[in-house]
Structure 1
């Protein structure tokens, strides 16, 4: 048994951690007859300077450019990783994007007991090595991406009006969920009514950690699709069983993938990415390969496929 465990661990470190995949999904939430919109969902890169294969794979995602990029945080994985992060993301420069942040975008990773995650979500991170968060946000500005951490932005993509509502990292207590109704209503009132009478606006939620309170709030305020990360898909899963933890209060069955999240008399598509990287102190994946996700929005007359 010990030899089998050691073999599985070695596989998770050497093979699975670098077995990058592009998951493809389709979501019918646009007006009937709308042009499809291809959204590249990036999450939890946890990039370190020596991860050249990860940099190359991320760069290659720009070979078939999406219409829009959604980033759900924890792109940093090491205090010195900003040059590698810039190298990885520059092929996506000029493509519209929206981003929120995870705690590891501000504070460096720490040594933790990986088995502690099985007992419940890890402790709130409010200390550690400060990272170059200003450099990170400057990179997003250079790419042309909008920082919507506890904010909202409206973008017109291929003739469709998309409203992106972002909430900060709930795992670090940085979400402004309680005040969401106030600032979201104010932003919507300030929006130009130039499109009055035109196509409807599609609201999309974006957050790092998919805690229930955040998902419920986004559904309540009209999100038809929510993007999230943080869970790493469980990172180490049991074949036939799945994730053993989500590191938040999200049910294990939703640790990765596209599902529906119901709340009240509404429901939203929920896309949780398993992420691309891992903490440098827990560099292993098992039955949970790293991923980016390409989500194509289509008209609701096409149907889910």
Structure 2
């Protein structure tokens, strides 16, 4: 009678060892196993020079994470023409100096950014099981962060443009690009009704330096959390490409399967990577980054390496399927 119980005990022991091994891998190795994902999008006018876009998301930086800071600094060697930052940069109440150090090499590189809720409030513990039932709720006693310092560094020291519920435009390597974005939709801070007016204002007032007529303008939408209402609105407003983060790619995944959770309402198979977003007979490329960090209260990744994304915009006809 003791043999079945011995077998069960051995099986439980193997399962426990496997679980501990997976946690050790995810917390000690994979969480710091940064990678660069590369994508190519043929969205520019024929004959246009390629544009290298560096997409940075969900850094969740803490002041002791020197390896992450140094890795981000090394990304400058990729010589991006544009940086797109989709928010949740801060991961600790005392990470401002660390963040400024990490982004220092990108001063003078054109960039745009939107905020995530972790750019306003410090992290706090959340029950990870709740992510399987609904997107995470707002914290009741979160610490307010110095968002003005964060945004001031981005705009004044780096020269980046804020896209929080607004639109902007710039010319890069001869291509005309208009941008529009939202503040964090996860906290319902998006103001989608303001976008059409903001976009129209940019189009009426932009003074393209090249003076050429008949040149198409590329439209890029930027948001932190890729809720469907935001993606639909971006497509309706003419976005050709959309950048988002927030999902962490699911953070802990089963190899070969879609994300188990997304922390928003995007389909699980679009929680990381490049895909197409369709709405009202219109389509845009959607790039969702798995991000570079985790909450300091959930420092583990499994089958979902932290990433920055390099998207090369090239000339060519857009063919959606």
Q: Find the aligned partners of 2:16 and 2:193 in 1 and give their Cα distance.
A: 49
The aligned residue for residue 164 of structure 2 is 149
1:128-139 pair list within 5 angstroms: 128-139=142-153
The aligned residue for residue 273 of structure 1 is 289
Q: Find the aligned partners of 2:119 and 2:29 in 1 and give their Cα distance.
A: 26
The aligned residue for residue 219 of structure 2 is 203
Q: Secondary structure at the match of 2:193?
A: coil
Give the TM-score normalised by the residue count of structure 1. 0.96
Structure 2 residue runs of 5 or longer lacking an equivalent are 1-14
Q: Find the aligned partners of 2:123 and 2:35 in 1 and give their Cα distance.
A: 24
Does residue 166 of structure 1 match 2:181? yes
Matched residues, number: 304
Q: Secondary structure at the match of 1:243?
A: coil
Q: Secondary structure at the match of 2:148?
A: helix
Q: Confirm or deny: 8 A CA contact 2:123 2:295 kept in the other structure.
A: yes
Determine which of 219, 226, 232 is the counterpart of 2:242.
Answer: 226
Deviates more, 1:198-207 or 1:33-42: 198-207
Q: Secondary structure at the match of 2:192?
A: coil
Listed one character per residue, the Cα deviations across residues 201-257 of structure 1 (whole Å, up to 9, x for unaligned) are 100000000000000000001000000000000000011223101100000000100
Does residue 251 of structure 1 match 2:248? no
User: RMSD in angstroms over aligned alpha carbons?
Assistant: 1.6
Q: Confirm or deny: 8 A CA contact 1:124 1:173 kept in the other structure.
A: no
Q: Find the aligned partners of 2:185 and 2:117 in 1 and give their Cα distance.
A: 9
The aligned residue for residue 124 of structure 1 is 138
Look at both structures and tell me which one has the larger radius of gyration over its CA atoms. 2
In the TM superposition, residue 51 of structure 1 has moved relative to its aligned partner by: 0.3
Q: Find the aligned partners of 1:116 and 1:70 in 2 and give their Cα distance.
A: 30
Q: Find the aligned partners of 1:107 and 1:57 in 2 and give their Cα distance.
A: 25
The aligned residue for residue 178 of structure 1 is 193
The aligned residue for residue 17 of structure 1 is 31
In the TM superposition, residue 104 of structure 1 has moved relative to its aligned partner by: 0.2
The aligned residue for residue 76 of structure 2 is 62
Listed one character per residue, the Cα deviations across residues 149-179 of structure 1 (whole Å, up to 9, x for unaligned) are 1111111000000001111110011100133
More helix by share: 2
